[in-house]
Amino acid sequence: MGVGWLAAIIIGGLAGWIASGLMKTNTGVLLNIVLGIIGAGVASFLFGIVGISFGGWMGYLISGVLGACILVGLVRAIRK
């Protein structure tokens, strides 16, 4: 069960906000949405390689948070 583009924006924003809280970053609303949406794609790809798949709203939120945390960690590693 997929989510629509409006739901992806809402869930992506929530996922980015959660990830920014977990990773202790100070990002704005727009960057939270972008991190959440791109993070969900990254996490879905990485988990797909391993054989794990998430579906629906909750799955998209979980993969968005995990993916956004991965992205924030990568940016921090590159900056150092």
Structure-block tokens of residue 8: 């992806």
Domain boundaries, the chain: 5-79
Q: Is 55 helix (H, G, I), strand (E, B) or coil?
A: coil
d(Cα 35, Cα 65) in Å, to the nearest integer? 9
Structure-block tokens of residue 52: 């794990």
Q: What is the pLDDT along the chain (80 residues), one digit of tens a residue?
A: 466 778 878 888 888 889 888 988 877 778 888 888 888 888 888 888 998 877 778 888 888 888 889 888 888 888 87
Question: What's the distance, CA 56 to chain centroid?
Answer: 14
Name the DSSP letter for residue 49. Answer: H
**pTM strictly above 0.75:** yes
